[in-house]
Homo-oligomer: A and B are copies of this chain.
Amino acid sequence: MDQTTAKWRVFELSFQGPREGNPFTEVSFCADFIHGEDSQRIGGFYDGDGVFRIRFLPQREGEWHYRTHSSAPALDGLCGAFLCTPPEPGSHGPVGVLDTFHFAHRDGTPFYPFGTTCYAWAHQNAALREQTLCTLGRSGFNKIRMCVFPKSYDYNRAEPECYPFAGSPQEGFDFTRPNPAFYQNLEDCIARLGELGIQADLILFHPYDRWGFATMGRQADMRYLRYLAARLAAFPNIWWAMANEYDLTEKSPGDWEALGSLLQEYDPYRHLCSIHNWGKFYDHGRPWITHCSIQRVDFYKTTENTTLWRQEYQKPVVVDECAYEGNINHCWGNITPQEMTRRFWEGVLRGGYVSHGETYVHPRDILWWSHGGELHGESPARIAFLRRLVESLPAPLSPAEEPAWSTDYYWDMTCGVIGEEVYLFYFGGYQPAFRVFDLPRGKRYRARLIDTWNMTDEELPGTHEGNFRLELPGRQYMAVLFLQDEA
């Protein structure tokens, strides 16, 4: 056996091939990877300097054989084999949809997205990228929204270090020639995130552009997706986000449908795929869309709508923009840490997922939401507290439905449940001094009083059943967790 690789690790082959002409467009290159009766055709890509690569993510243990196919004789008919060993500890494979509304890795390990947003962090200088990774490693976030293309917008006026295509702003860009150095950096960022256990929710198109990358035309968009998939699809921690704010771009619904379907074809692993709105939601029911990536469309009511969106689309709901903790001028970037945290609780208890962002005014305009760097806010610690709580529960939460024995019970409390085993009540900005609860008859529950802001979690004495009153501290941001007593 030539080589060995672990299941769910990138297996990469590289070969010398032709340099003349435009190897990006003029040389076809792929390989078949074969394991018994299982055969997968995997696209390769040109990485500059005459180097052609193929990346493959093996998802079965045992012996794999491969054979290349190319229009270039030097790259055609190359054969080899490798042994796929069991996954390394902590390696669970790509994330997919679980039970309609939730997520799990390929090995069945549940994945609860607690994401953040650093759109342009990969385009910043090396020192800032290192700081971002260091911050992420200490945070509780396990997903990050980030753009392939650089960003041109308020607070984002600097030129990126490197461009995705050959050329420059002065001379223009050649969309037929990707810039290998740009992608090598992007891959390094994605791999480093993978080491931290963080999913890269990679935004493929977005409207905030001054270089022409948002308006390359259908043919160039298709070549770009093919190249991107060949380079990146083998990374286990990739999620595809077709667009940020698709409805602010110049692409038509027909464009999105074509590009979405094409990406499915190019991606042999069928990574998660979403498309994010500015105003009007895309039809998240489309087959190439695996989950809803939502920007709130109401100024006041955001993740509280999670239940409705779940019902409408019957897919996982990730509220990727419900405004950010910060103090910039734009309303989407100046909510308090308390409100950011509250929006997480409202979404998560309804069986959805929520993303963080941070936009505090900074003397050198380094805002976490776009550039990464340091976190300055107070919500990340609270979000991590919620994540630990959710991960300690036996299964994902669902929004409570009115119990048969009561009416109007849940209307003034947010409640997430796991069957009749777990009830997690949350009072948000309200400040009750007590509440009356009404749990399923004939079952006994232990109770925990949780201060979601001060991050305390206190076991209350005794057990509770049926209809009972519980004293509460009369302050905001409290939750009560009832766990069925197994005794």
Contact = CB atoms under 8 A, between A and B. Distances in A.
Contacts of A435: 329
Nearest to A475: B327
Contacts of A336: 429, 431, 476
A301 B427 CA distance: 15
Given A300-B304, A301-B298, A474-B361, A330 B431 contact: no
B299 A411 contact: yes
Contacts of A299: 304, 411-412
A413 interface: yes
A334 interface: yes
Residue among A331, A361, A411, A413 with max Cβ neighbours from chain B (10 Å) = A331
A15 interface: no
A430 interface: yes
A301 to B, nearest CB: 5
A148 interface: no
Contact of A335 (B300, B304, B429, B434): B429
Contact of A431 (B327, B429, B431, B474): B327
A332 interface: yes
A436 interface: yes
A404 interface: no
Nearest to A304: B300
Contact of A300 (B301, B329, B330, B427): B301
A433 interface: yes
A329 B431 contact: no
B411 A327 contact: no
Contact of A430 (B331, B412, B433, B474): B331
Contacts of A331: 411-413, 427, 430, 432
Contacts of A104: none
A329 B361 contact: no
B431 A334 contact: yes
A339 interface: yes
**What is the copy number of this chain in the assembly?**
2
Contacts of A436: 329
A328 interface: yes
A298 B308 CA distance: 14
Given A335-B431, A431-B336, A412 B304 contact: no
Contacts of A432: 327-329, 331, 334
Contacts of A332: 412
A293 B108 CA distance: 54
A278 B309 CA distance: 26
Contacts of A431: 327, 334-336
A339 B477 CA distance: 14
Contacts of A330: 412
B301 A334 contact: no
Contacts of A412: 299, 330-332
Contact of A327 (B300, B304, B328, B433): B433
Interface string A318-344: 000000000111111011100100000
Given A327-B433, A332-B412, 19 more contacts: A299-B304, A299-B411, A300-B300, A300-B301, A327-B431, A327-B432, A328-B432, A329-B432, A329-B435, A331-B412, A331-B427, A331-B432, A334-B431, A334-B432, A335-B429, A335-B431, A336-B429, A336-B476, A361-B434
9 contacts: A299-B304, A299-B411, A327-B433, A327-B474, A329-B432, A334-B431, A334-B432, A336-B431, A361-B433
Interface of A: 298-301, 304, 327-332, 334-336, 339, 361, 411-413, 427, 429-436, 474, 476
The 8 closest A-B pairs by CB, nearest first: A331-B412, A327-B474, A327-B433, A334-B432, A361-B433, A334-B430, A300-B301, A301-B301
